Amino acid sequence: MQILHPFAGSVQQYTEQLANPDCYRPGHCPQCQTKHPLTAHGFYTRTLIDTAFDGIIRVRRYLCQACQRTVSLLPEFVLPYLRSGLAMIALFLIARRLHEKTLHCASSTAPSSMPYQRGQFWIRRFCAQAEGLCAALAALTQPIAAPDFVHRALAMLESTGWIAAHRFLFAGLRCHLLGWPRGLAPDGRRAAFSSAGAPA
Ligand SMILES: [Zn+2]
C-alpha cells in the first residue's frame, strides 16, 4: 500500500531526508490498524521525470509486524504509478486544456524526450476524472463557473494548488488525481501481501 510522505520541497531535499527512517515513520498500520510503529523495510526505486529532474528516486518502505504487509511512503510531488512528476503533468494539462495550446506547444513544457502520446494519455485520464474531481474538490474550494467539467476541474486545481489537492484526494479519499489504473480501482489497493509496484 502506498501512503504519502508528508513532505513538500525539492527532489534533492526529499533525498536528504530519506536517510532517517524515524523522520516520517508511521505510528500505526494503515492496513490492519494495529497501533505499533512500523519497522523500516528498505526502499524501492522508481523513475521520475519532472520539470527539474530526470532520474531515479528511492521510496522508503515500512513493514507492519502484525499483518506482514508493507507500506511505502510516496513523496507528494509524484502520483502513484506515473513516471512523470505532478508539476510536469499539471503544466501540460493547463497548457493544453486551459490555455488551449496545441499538443506540440503543450508538450514543450516537458523535457524534450517526452513523447506527445504521454500527454494524450494524461488528458484522456484527466477528462474521465474531471466530473468526480469537481465534486471532490468542492470540499476545498468554491466551484468555479466554467464551460465544462474539464475546465472547472483545472481551475479548481489551480485555485487549491495541485499538491494540496493531491494530498487531500489521495490521503483523505484514496482517490488518484488521474484515476487509478483499472486493476487497482476503486481505491488503489492491491490484494494483500504484494508490495508496491513500479510506476507505469
Ligand atoms: Zn498491519
pTM: 0.85
Give the mean model confidence (pLDDT) for residues 155-177. Answer: 93
Q: Assess contact for 200 and 81: CB atoms under 8 A.
A: yes
**Which residue bears the cell 483545472?**
154
- By the 10 Å C-beta count (0-12 exposed, 13-18 middle, 19+ buried), 61 is classed as buried
**Ligand 1 centroid distance, CA of 63 (Å):** 8
Q: How far, in Å, from the CA of 66 to the mean position of ligand 1?
A: 5
Spacing, Cα 71 to ligand 1 middle (Å): 9
Q: At what angle do helices 116-137 and 149-160 cross, to 10 degrees?
A: 80
Residue 59: pLDDT over 90? yes
Residue-wise pLDDT tens digits, 138-164: 999 988 899 999 999 999 999 999 999
Quote the pLDDT of residue 111: 62
82-131 pLDDT tens trace: 999 999 999 999 998 888 777 777 777 666 567 788 889 999 999 999 99
Q: Is the pLDDT of residue 27 over 60?
A: yes
pLDDT top residue among 192 and 10: 10
Q: 2-5 and 53-63: which strand pairing?
A: unpaired
For residue 174, report the distance from its CA to the centre of ligand 1, in Å: 18
Q: In this predicted model, which residue has the larger pLDDT, 52 or 140?
A: 140
Roughly how many angstroms between the first and final C-alpha of the chain, as a whole number? 16
